[in-house]
């Protein structure tokens, strides 16, 4: 009798695992390191995983460069992409999730550079590095940089800045924080952010609008984000990632009205 009950329990557990949908999602090519070196990225991913779990979805992160992630998405090799910034152009072909965390896009330079304000940059002669086909590249063009180096491998841009081949970089704090903590001996003086911040952004995931299954998955996860937002463990998650009560309330207020 005891053996029969054990078999039934194991069968039910197996069925529960099988019932969960396994979904490939494109993430930053340094995803594992980002989770431990940047609060916004790690917080956003934990909230996403919790919501996906509640929706009976198992996320399978696929690390890739930004260009590679877009290619995988267009080819149908992944159903969603994580860490994508919401823009008007992208909304024409992507279904964006509810916000999961925050990041800031800024101009960065080496600590020896005397420039502290974006407005003081000599845009005619300065050389700036950005990720190809990114929001950062759009910012570089909008600011008026004449020498823009847009490449796929973001890590190479840091080496170019260190060797004097570039003067500035435009990135989110998430990636700069990761690079400085993992690639530089003295992370505290790694790169200097210029003022003002170019853009305050939300960290989200997105699904292609021409993939109904992916859009449906996105809606299922969004529904769970709404449901778990006010749970005490989510508030504690913000605290663990060193966010203030005001930060938590700001995120809460960015969600649909039923969460306020």
**Angle of helix 39-54 relative to helix 232-240, nearest 10 degrees?**
160
Beta bridge partners of 207: 95
User: 21-102+202-259 adopts what CATH topology?
Assistant: D-Maltodextrin-Binding Protein; domain 2 (3.40.190)
pLDDT tens figures, 125-139? 999 999 998 899 999
d(CA 203, CA 238) in angstroms, rounded, equals: 14
Q: Which of 9-13, 18-22, 124-128, 161-165 has the highest mean pLDDT?
A: 124-128
Whether the pLDDT of residue 5 is over 80: the answer is no
Enumerate the domain spans of the chain.
21-102+202-259, 104-199
Residue range 182-207: mean pLDDT, rounded:
83
pTM comes to: 0.76
Average pLDDT, the chain: 88
Report d(CA 201, CA 85) in Å as an integer.
Answer: 7
Let me know: does 141 contact 160? Beta carbons within 8 Å: no
Q: How far apart are CA 131 and CA 138, in angstroms?
A: 10
Q: What are phi and psi of 48, to 5 degrees?
A: -60, -45
Question: Using one digit for the tens of pLDDT, what is the confidence trace for 141-194?
Answer: 999 999 999 998 777 898 899 899 999 999 988 788 777 877 665 555 689 999
Distance of alpha carbon 104 from alpha carbon 215, whole angstroms: 27
Rounded Cα distance between 204 and 45, Å, is 9
Of the candidates 131, 101, 85, the one whose C-alpha atom is nearest the C-alpha of residue 41 is 101
pLDDT in tens, 67-101: 889 899 999 999 999 998 898 999 999 999 999 98
Alpha-carbon gap, residue 75 to 97, rounded angstroms: 21
Any idea which architecture 104-199 has in CATH? 3-Layer(aba) Sandwich (3.40)
Q: What is the largest CA-CA distance in the chain?
A: 82
Distance of CA 139 to the CA centre of its chain: 18
Show Cβ contacts of residue 227 under 8 Å, excluding neighbours closer than 6 positions.
54
The C-alpha atoms of residue 61 and residue 249 are separated, in whole angstroms, by 29
The reply to whether domains 21-102+202-259 and 104-199 share a CATH topology is yes
């Amino acid at each position: 009798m005891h053996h029969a009950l054990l078999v039934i329990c194991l069968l039910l557990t197996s069925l529960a695992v099988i019932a969960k949908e396994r979904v490939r999602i494109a993430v930053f090519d340094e995803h594992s390191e980002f989770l431990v070196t940047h609060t916004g990225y790690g917080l956003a991913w934990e909230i996403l995983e919790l919501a996906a779990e509640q929706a009976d979805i198992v996320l399978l992160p696929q690390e890739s460069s930004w260009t590679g992630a877009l290619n995988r998405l267009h080819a149908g090799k992944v159903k969603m992409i994580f860490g994508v910034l919401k823009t008007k152009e992208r909304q024409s072909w992507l279904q964006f999730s509810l916000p999961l965390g925050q990041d800031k896009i800024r101009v960065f330079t080496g600590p020896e550079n005397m420039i502290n304000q974006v407005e003081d940059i000599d845009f005619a002669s300065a050389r700036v590095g950005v990720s190809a086909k990114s929001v950062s590249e759009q910012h570089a063009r909008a600011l008026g940089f004449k020498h823009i180096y847009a490449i796929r491998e973001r890590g190479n841009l840091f080496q170019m800045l260190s060797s004097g081949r570039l003067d500035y970089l435009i990135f989110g704090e998430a990636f700069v924080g990761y690079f400085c903590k993992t690639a530089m001996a003295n992370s505290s003086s790694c790169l200097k952010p210029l003022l003002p911040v170019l853009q305050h952004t939300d960290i989200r995931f997105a699904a292609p609008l021409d993939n109904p299954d992916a859009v449906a998955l996105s809606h299922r996860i969004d529904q769970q984000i709404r449901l778990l937002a006010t749970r005490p463990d989510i508030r504690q998650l913000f605290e663990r990632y060193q966010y203030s009560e005001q930060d938590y309330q700001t995120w809460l207020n960015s969600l649909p009205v039923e969460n306020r």
